[in-house]
Structure 1
Amino acid sequence: MINKRKILRLIVVMIGVFLLSLIFMITKAQVGLAVSVKPILPKNQHNSQATYYDLRMKPGQKQDVQMELTNSSDKEEQVTLEINDATTNDAGDIDYSDRSKSVPRDKSLGISFKDIATTEAKLTIPAKKTITTTVRLDMPEKQFDGMILGGIKVVSSEKNIETSDSNNKEKQAKKTYIVAVKLTETDTPVVAKLNLLDVVFSKESNKNIIKATIQNDQAVNLEDIDFKADVYKKNSDKIFAQTKVTGYRMAPNSSFIFVIDGEKQGFKAGKYQIDLTAKSKATNQEWKWDKELEITKSENKKIENTAIDSEKGKIMFYTIICVITFVLLLLLLLLLLILRKRKEKRYEEALSYKKKKRDRNNKNSQRKKKPKANKVDDGRKKRPANSKRLKR
């Protein structure tokens, strides 16, 4: 029989370890960066209230801007620095991370932050120390209106050694800090202009959707934009599907994909009329586009087949996981059965040994208690061995 108390204690210990690990992870997440970043704002800071670089530059100007990097931990920290252009992500926000691998450079972008800024790629910050790093700016010779917008990305890699692993593996938890950089040369106003570049049929999360690519082709950011798309079937006045989003932002000279949801019914093969509206509350500008889109049966079938293949891949993956889990459970059950059999066998052997020992003790006890046989008295007395025979 398996010792239930031992199993219960083991379960309690495992739950305790899990809770302690969870608390440690939450605490660690709340601590944040071991390395803090502080921009040193120069004299040509245009907006003194801004905590980022908002610099008024001149054509051909060369300038070094500095940042303080402070390591508050008890060990040295390795950091990497990246120079990135500002882009618009598909969530409708200005993004300063490196998206060059997935998002091509916008065709309207003449001068990018990457073109004019350079810095050290890697730095080592000693424990409990503050160092100063420099970003070199090299402005183009030709004057421009509007802005160049980018970001300096600082990535701190914290090393964690897994001592419980037999291979003593080392893991890294990357933490990021971004300082935005806005460069201008004139006060000449630049008005944002949005364009509808493309409308295509696609599928995401097992749903047929329409993707509209919208571009801001001017060197100015645009704030607080509301987008609305009304989709009609061809020659119908009834709205087939509608998608609304609010509070979007767009970086200068960038584009993003606005997803038009087909709701529950999705978009099937057929002809559609798309009325798309964008309105910025910040500038009181409004844009409207009308676009026709035909979804052919072959396109729909191709998208569905792609989705089916993707779904099959997911099903296969989860099937493999389930099979592995099932096998592991079987092995665990088999191990428990083997341990139980061994314990039962040891228990039976112990009982048998005790029984045999008890039987032997009983036999020995019975032998000791057995009465002695009575001697028969024949009336004769034994003469002492050393006595002499009496004479008559």
Structure 2
Amino acid sequence: MKRLLLILSLVVMILFPSAGFAKDTKESMEITENEKRAGFTVQAVLPENQINDRVSFYHLLMQPEQKQTIEVKIMNSSADKQTYKVEVINAATNKNGLITYDERDKKPDKSMTLPINEVAKPKNKEVSVEAYSEGKAEIDIHLPKDAFQGILLGGVRISLKSDDEEEESQGMAVKNTYGYAIGLVLTEQDFAPIYGETELKLTKLQPEIDYGSKVLEASIQNPYPEAMQNLTAEGKIVRKGQEKAIAKNKQEKVKIAPNSVFPFQIDWGMQEVSAGEYTFIGKVKGETKTWNFKEDFTITREIAKKMNQQTAFRIFIPSWWTTSFYVMGTATAVVTAWLVIRFVKRTKGREKREEE
């Protein structure tokens, strides 16, 4: 009997070999911003029309047609003279549910009638500061004559100009630059809150590839001039008419910038995307309101094929491997049957001899 168990164990090991994944233990050679000092710091110089002087960002009460120049201190703590880029960038919302001030090339949402970078502009796009010295960047603000409601939100970004900047602009190099962003909030009503929960809308569903992953991106729009915070967003993909989730996602502590879109994503994972009719079921819960979304969408054969082919995480099974598997499986089964029959015959023969 022990011999039989040993034989069967060997057969199982042949048919179902253990699979392992190699772990990438190579450490990243990239030095993060936290591991290397930028060599400078910045500080907002808050003007008299600052609404809240207990914060470190600009929150200014303005009037229609008002002109004003605000200053940002730049303290160079390095031993070299440094040059800094000065930008004003519209607030945006990224897929992680964070308000960002670095998406300079992103087109404003159609609900944004007055982008902040159209009324607030750097006086000089570059500022140089001597070693161990203090300099300043100036931002000119000029509001239109027509009053606006709510808030305008953006960021004053100060970043170290790289020596290889010209090469980078030509696509010859990729290099991170160190920088700081100071929030800039403009309003014409002293009672206008920065955060609110007026309305959210689902404006678009888009199956696509994002950094090698198959995702469904749900564009959740905040069409009002107020930011949102402490939101919980969750959603799932189901076959149309069914309830079982094919894929799902949940994000907490989500923030959404005014007049912007939160690109909420659901990752399909390793499974193949099939053509067909689907339904997105989503919910965003705030402190006082909850928004429910449900919308059907179609994945065509062309889209499914494109998503499956372009994903960075694909499992390829060569046809020869499948053929070999079946051949080996059949051969193993035959050998196993022969060994079992032989073992049974030997056992019976031994028992017969013992009886005699």
Matches within 5 A, 1:175-324: 175-186=178-189, 187-188=191-192, 191-204=197-210, 208-281=214-287, 284-307=288-311
Contact 2:108–2:115 (8 Å) recurs in 1:
no
* Residue 56 (1) aligns with residue 61 (2): yes
Q: CA deviation at 1:63?
A: 0.7
Task: Indicate the RMSD between aligned Cα atoms, in angstroms.
Answer: 2.7
Q: Which residue of 2 aligns with 1:81?
A: 86
Q: AA paired with 2:236?
A: D
CA change 1:141–1:306 in 2 (3 A) is same
TM-score, length-scaled by structure 1 = 0.64
Contact 1:157–1:173 (8 Å) recurs in 2:
no
**How far apart, CA to CA, are the structure 2 residues paired with 1:201 and 1:131?**
48
Alignment length (residue pairs): 274
CA change 1:285–1:45 in 2 (3 A) is same
Q: Give the secondary structure class of the aligned counterpart of 2:177.
A: strand
Q: CA deviation at 1:47?
A: 0.8
Q: Give the secondary structure class of the aligned counterpart of 1:106.
A: coil
Q: CA deviation at 1:298?
A: 3.0
Q: Where do 4+ consecutive residues of structure 1 move more than 4 Å? A: 25-29, 170-173, 188-191, 204-207
Q: CA deviation at 1:27?
A: 11
Q: Which residue of 1 aligns with 2:140?
A: 136
Q: Which stretch of the first structure deviates more once superposed, 29-38 or 241-250?
A: 29-38
Q: Give the secondary structure class of the aligned counterpart of 2:280.
A: strand
Q: CA deviation at 1:158?
A: 5.9
Q: Which residue of 2 aligns with 1:323?
A: none
Q: AA paired with 1:43?
A: E
Q: Which residue of 2 aligns with 1:111?
A: 114
Q: CA deviation at 1:85?
A: 0.5
Q: Please give the per-residue CA displacement for 1:43-96, whole angstroms capped at 9, x wherever unaligned.
A: 111011110111111111111111211112221111111111101111110011
* Residue 151 (1) aligns with residue 155 (2): yes
* Residue 123 (1) aligns with residue 136 (2): no
CA change 1:64–1:242 in 2 (3 A) is same
**How far apart, CA to CA, are the structure 1 residues paired with 2:139 and 2:155?**
11
**How far apart, CA to CA, are the structure 2 residues paired with 1:290 and 1:228?**
12
Q: CA deviation at 1:264?
A: 4.5
Q: Which stretch of the first structure deviates more once superposed, 81-90 or 259-268?
A: 259-268
Q: CA deviation at 1:30?
A: 3.8
Q: AA paired with 1:229?
A: G
In percent, how many aligned pairs have the same letter?
26
* Residue 69 (1) aligns with residue 66 (2): no
Q: AA paired with 1:114?
A: N
Matches within 5 A, 1:313-392: none
Q: CA deviation at 1:277?
A: 0.7
Matches within 5 A, 1:27-66: 30-66=35-71
Contact 1:192–1:219 (8 Å) recurs in 2:
no
Contact 2:235–2:281 (8 Å) recurs in 1:
yes
Q: CA deviation at 1:203?
A: 3.5
Q: CA deviation at 1:174?
A: 2.3
Contact 2:83–2:127 (8 Å) recurs in 1:
yes
Unmatched tracts of structure 1, length 5 or more: 1-21, 161-169, 312-392
Q: Give the secondary structure class of the aligned counterpart of 1:174.
A: coil
**How far apart, CA to CA, are the structure 2 residues paired with 1:28 and 1:274?**
38
CA change 1:31–1:200 in 2 (3 A) is closer
**How far apart, CA to CA, are the structure 2 residues paired with 1:86 and 1:204?**
22
TM-score, length-scaled by structure 2 = 0.70
CA change 1:147–1:29 in 2 (3 A) is closer
Q: CA deviation at 1:225?
A: 1.2
Q: Which residue of 2 aligns with 1:390?
A: none
Q: Which stretch of the first structure deviates more once superposed, 298-307 or 226-235?
A: 298-307
Q: Give the secondary structure class of the aligned counterpart of 1:287.
A: strand
CA change 1:171–1:273 in 2 (3 A) is closer
CA change 1:211–1:30 in 2 (3 A) is closer
**How far apart, CA to CA, are the structure 2 residues paired with 1:191 and 1:232?**
28
Q: CA deviation at 1:148?
A: 0.4
Q: AA paired with 1:51?
A: S
Contact 1:77–1:158 (8 Å) recurs in 2:
no
Q: AA paired with 2:133?
A: K
